[in-house]
Amino acid sequence: MDAIQNTNKKRRFGRAKLPAELRRGWQFKPGYTQDEYQRLQKRAEQAGMPAERLSEFIKKCSLGQSIFATPAINREALVELNRIGNNINQIARVLNGGGAVDTDQVHDAFTKLTQKINQIGRQLTGVAT
């Protein structure tokens, strides 16, 4: 980020130029038949990537990066897990603020609960535990 800020000092208008190591100067524009293009779109859809992110899907595939498909039902479960996690954080903040509760015991319980929620999240996304 500092490298971007340093280049901002010399410019007055417009977007600041990125440092050379962050620029994407190489582009490839392969041609596809209608059938190939539709197959690519279908594979991207199956991987959970919308049509407007097709170029990102092609880039990840070509670089050998993992693409995880997350079914819609799992996305809903992940949203719910995030809500639970937010509630836990709010409760923990209140408890850490002081009170007549055995905070070590509560902290241990929250740690175990958080680990369990993380495990469920990894299972839902298909990431190995």
Residue range 38-53, pLDDT digits in tens? 999 998 888 878 777 8
Sign of the torsion angle spanned by Cα atoms 51, 57, 58, 61? negative
When mean pLDDT is compared across 10-24, 38-52, 88-102, the lowest value belongs to: 88-102
Which spans in the chain are helix H? 2-8, 34-46, 54-62, 72-96, 103-125
Its pTM stands at 0.42
| Residue from 106, 113, 104 nearest 84 by CA | 113
Other beta carbons less than 10 A from residue 113's beta carbon: 13
The mean pLDDT of the chain is: 77
| 91 or 36, higher pLDDT | 36
| Residue from 99, 116, 98, 97 nearest 108 by CA | 116
Q: Could you tell me the residue ranges of all domains in the chain? A: 2-62, 72-125
**Looking at residue 70, what is its pLDDT?**
61
